[in-house]
Amino acid sequence: MKPKLICAPSIHLALLIVLVLVLINEGSIGQVPIGARPLGMGESFVAIADDANAISWNPAGLVQLRQQAINGMYTDLYGIGLVHSYLSYILPLTDQHVIGIDWSSLGFEDEELNLRDNRMNLSYGIRLVRQLSLGANFRYVSIDTILDGESLGPATGLGIDLGIYLEPISSLSFGIFGKDLTNTKVKFETTKREDIVAYRQFRLGASYQLTDSSIIACDLDDYLHLGAEQWFGSLLALRGGIIGSLISLDSPNSEETFREPISFSLGGSLKYGSLQFDYAYLNSPTLSNTHRFSMAFGFDYNPTLIDISSIQLRDVLTSFYLQYETPNPLSGELILSSKHDKDMAISVSVFVPGYMDNSTVVLENKTLLGNTSGQAAEKVRIPLALVLNQNVQELKGDLETEVEITVSYQYFGRTREIKRVEPITLRRMGKVAYRERLDPMVAFIDPDDTMIRSFAQAVSSTPVKIDSTHLDGLHQGNDSLLRAMQIFEALNAHGIRYEPHSETPFQSIYAKEYIVDVTTKYTQNLLDAADLWYIDSDGPFKEAKYPRDFLRTSGIGDCDDGTVLLTSLLEAVGIRTKLVDVGNSVFVMFDSRLTEKDIETLKISSGLFIKDNDRLWVPVEVTHYGKSFMDAWQAGINKFSSAALQDTLKLVDVHTAWDTYQRMHPSTKPTPIEPPPAEEIAMRVHQNLIELEELGEN
């Protein structure tokens, strides 16, 4: 039994020595993969290289780091006591220049054998242009093996790596890494013999950012590496990868060749603040499975040189989301001041995750004057903007989310950032409220909607019999009046009716002007270009009906809903319109295309028309849905005249307002709307013509 007890450790020691010597002679020991995060992704990291592991995978990626970072790793390779340790430190000098240093140690130690392989890299990365960066590692190698207390000969050497990182677009990147380009050699102190400890290797990589929280990557050397990473919030990440050999090996016992089996890896991260713990599990096809652990810590000396005294945000009415692309205090406002005694160039950007494709830069390289007086610094007011994407059209209800506001500035050649995350509410499309003027209402008027245009053309092409000789002139190219009658009576026959909203009638969502200090130059400049100024983001809000929805449901609506529907239909057949704002209500008037001579010939009373810009307009009071067109016409004249006398009248030219407020509606599938029977429309119009003729005779 005693010989067996002695023999077992001797065999174990012999096998370990053979393994280590083979690794050294094949140049593999110096190329042990680094970092639990890359290893968890199947070693596909050359085109990512965005953390402190970049030194070992592609130093050109170092320029992606915006703060100092420390990274450490520890593992027992293959469970045989061969310990691999790693430590790195990254220091960004400027936005274009980053340096780093790392130390890698591979060692084994027991009573008989002591192995030490230490490697140190001095790394440098430079950004040539925004899309392209280069990097290099300069390596010092020191190895020593001690057997039974006697050194087999210490050895030292030098090596070099080069890397390229290319990011042609924001979500796609490529990398090239040449490692140990000089076939890293060491020279033994005793024998002066030189041995290669790491052979030259080239590696290509590509990665694609699927979303802000997920990425896929592929690396190619003698193996194909595929990996993926998914973050869940900012706390947890999961990873996976596979590795497949691309080269065939000769079988030692036959003339056949074979390939290594495919291996896989899994991993994850836990992050708390600036501290991140990484883990990777590697399934080796030939050796024992390995667990890798690493820890990274990011930090920076970042003196706060800007004081953000206030961030004011209002609800976003996505019914008008395109208007928020222009900086405006109704989008939000940032108030800040300088705490530095020198002028600084600052930039401000805004981002709403999921509802903006990219950050909106609202201020770029603007000089912020230094505070040299020692007194309280002057506050600078910066209106915000939001370039929202079409995801807001899919909102089924109001959404409480967050907006990220970033203030960046230059300090000692580097871009420093102050980030604030604030709550914000996105009101779903259809929610509206107005102040001072009704210009924004035109965003709901969409004559190009296929459902609206189809209905308008169908009902306005119904043949109408005109018994009166003098009214027959309505057919002679001046048919706006006749077509408007047809459309209005078609809506009556379709079941459209007026009823004020029970909880938020129109009067409750149309407030007076904002209370602002118009004496300041700041406010005056904003008022001159404020697309949002007539949108009330403070509420209360009502659910406005989009024309296609109102028409499809054949239901009831408030005066603004009825006005939007009728105006859309009139514009769809080429009839020019204006909104008539009388303060507590709104309706529409349209260009009759008639001249004073025409109405004299037609024997229509001039008192039924409104003369505006040398055109004769017909007002239609939409609260009179369910009654005749002539009744709505006369009610419109009376209300228009009353508002003019009381000085509460405001007109909104729809075409002019469209230049500012772009029409839009939620994405819905168009469905055909069956118009009322042509006979019923013709009968209703005929009755209106009789009434019009009687008015003319009177």
> How far is the C-alpha of 282 from the C-alpha of 264, rounded, in Å?
6
More confident: 13 or 37: 37
Which range, of 156-165, 332-341, 388-397, averages the lowest pLDDT? 332-341
DSSP 3-state assignment of 314?
Answer: coil
Work out the average pLDDT over 559-585.
94
Q: Which CATH number fits domain 2-299: 3.40.50.261, 2.40.50.140, 2.40.160.60, 3.30.470.30?
A: 2.40.160.60
Task: Evaluate whether 114 touches 146 at the Cβ level (below 8 Å).
Answer: yes
Residue 293 has pLDDT above 70, yes or no: yes
**Separation of alpha carbons 24 and 361, rounded Å:** 53
Contact by Cβ (8 Å): 294, 275? no
Averaged pLDDT for residues 636-656: 93
* pLDDT of 237 over the 90 cut: yes
For residue 539, the SS3 value is coil
Q: Which residues contact 349 (CB under 8 A, 6 or more apart)?
A: 359, 360, 361, 362, 405, 406, 408
Res. 516: pLDDT tops 60: no
Q: What is the pLDDT of residue 314?
A: 86
Mean pLDDT of 288-295: 85
Residue of 367, 444, 353, 330 whose CA lies nearest to 399: 353
Phi/psi of residue 590, each to 5°? -125, 155
Q: What is the mean pLDDT of residues 497-519?
A: 75
What is the residue extent of each domain of the chain? 2-299, 306-427, 434-697
CA-CA-CA-CA torsion for 254, 256, 259, 260, nearest 10 degrees? -10
Give me the pLDDT at residue 693, please: 80
Question: % helix / strand / coil in the chain, to the nearest 5?
Answer: 25, 40, 35
**Nearest-angstrom CA–CA distance, 683 and 485:** 11
Of residues 301 and 142, more confidently modeled: 142
pLDDT higher at 200 or 302: 200
> Would you say residue 601 has pLDDT above 60?
yes
| Residue of 314, 336, 316 lying closest to 406 (CA atoms) | 336
Is the pLDDT at 308 greater than 70, yes or no? yes
Task: Please answer whether residues 132 and 163 qualify as being in contact, where contact means their C-beta atoms are separated by less than 8 angstroms.
Answer: no
Please provide the DSSP assignment of 132-193 as one string: EEEEEEEEEEEEEEEETTEES--EEEEEEEEEEEEEEETTEEEEEEEESTT-EEEEETTT--
pLDDT-derived band at 504, boundaries 50, 70, 90: confident
Q: Measured over all CA atoms, what is the biggest interatomic distance in the chain, rounded to whole angstroms?
A: 134
Q: For residue 254, with 0-12 CB atoms within 10 Å meaning exposed, 13-18 middle and 19 or more buried, which class applies?
A: exposed
Average pLDDT (355-384) is 83
16 pLDDT above the threshold of 70: no
- Give alpha helix (H) positions in 287-417: none
What's the pLDDT tens digit per position in 451-499? 999 999 999 887 777 665 556 666 645 678 999 999 999 999 999 999 9
**Cβ–Cβ < 8 Å for 631, 503:** no
**Residue 677 token pair:** 């029977």
Contact in structure between 86 and 295 (CB atoms under 8 Å) = no
Q: Which two tokens stand for residue 378?
A: 């002057």
Helix (H) or strand (E) holding 276: strand 275-283
Rounded to 5 degrees, φ, ψ at 339 are: -110, 5
Q: Is the pLDDT of residue 30 over 80?
A: no
Interval 191-236: pLDDT, tens: 788 888 888 999 999 999 998 889 999 999 989 999 999 999 889 9
Half-sphere exposure (CA, 13 Å, Cβ side) for 190?
8
Tell me the two tokens of residue 154.
Answer: 């210490």
- Identify the band that residue 513 occupies on the pLDDT scale cut at 50, 70 and 90: low
CATH topology of domain 306-427: Immunoglobulin-like (2.60.40)
pLDDT given for residue 660 in this prediction: 85
Residues 35-55 have pLDDT tens digits of 999 999 999 999 999 999 999
Please provide the distance, in angstroms rounded to a whole number, between the alpha carbons at the two ends of the chain: 133
pLDDT of 254 above 90:
no
528, pLDDT greater than 60: no
- Determine the 3-state secondary structure of 524 from DSSP: helix
Beta bridge partners of 346: 366, 409
Highest mean pLDDT among 250-259, 274-283, 325-334: 274-283
Q: Give the span between the Cα atoms of 558 and 281, in whole angstroms.
A: 64
Backbone phi, then psi, for 175, in 5-degree steps?
-145, 150
Angle at which helices 480-494 and 629-645 pack, to 10 degrees?
Answer: 110
Per-residue confidence at 376, pLDDT binned at 50, 70, 90?
low
Return the pLDDT at 478.
Answer: 62
Q: How far apart are CA 442 and CA 367, in angstroms?
A: 39
Helix (H, G, I), strand (E, B) or coil at 310: strand
Residue 327 confidence (pLDDT): 84
114-128, 248-262, 267-281, 324-338: which has the minimum mean pLDDT? Answer: 248-262
Interior/surface letters 439-460, b for 16+ CB within 10 angstroms, e for the rest: bbbbbbbbbebebbbebbebbb
The rounded distance, in Å, linking the Cα atoms of 658 and 454 is 22
- Looking at every residue in the chain, the average pLDDT score rounds to 84
Position 246, amino acid: L
Amino acid letter, 412: F
Looking at residue 175, what is its pLDDT? 97
Which has the minimum average pLDDT: 62-66, 185-189, 377-381, 487-491? 377-381
Q: Which residues pair with 292 in a beta bridge?
A: 280
pLDDT tens-digit readout, 65-75: 878 899 998 88
**Cβ within 8 Å of residue 122, ≥6 positions away:** 99, 100, 101, 137, 138, 139
The reported pLDDT for the residue numbered 303 is: 65
Pairing of strands 577-581, 172-179: unpaired
C-alpha 593/C-alpha 410 separation (Å) is: 62
Mean pLDDT in residue range 372-386: 78
Is the pLDDT at 691 greater than 70? The verdict is: yes
The pTM of the full predicted model, rounded to 2 decimals, is 0.64
Pick from 484, 441, 446: nearest CA to 589: 484
Strands across the sheet containing 399-411: 316-317, 414-427, 399-411, 344-351, 360-368
Q: How far apart are CA 118 and CA 108, in angstroms?
A: 12
Read off φ and ψ for residue 77, nearest 5 degrees. Answer: -65, 125
Count of residues in the chain: 698
User: Angle 450-460/480-494 helices, nearest 10 degrees?
Assistant: 110
188 has pLDDT over 90: no
Query: Is the pLDDT at 139 greater than 60, yes or no?
Result: yes
What does the alpha-carbon distance between residue 74 and residue 294 come to, in Å, rounded to a whole number?
Answer: 6
Predicted confidence at residue 524, as pLDDT, reads 52
Tokens representing 228 are 């993926």
Per-residue pLDDT, 8: 41
- Residue 543, pLDDT score: 87
Instruction: Answer with the residue of higher pLDDT: 300 or 352.
Output: 352
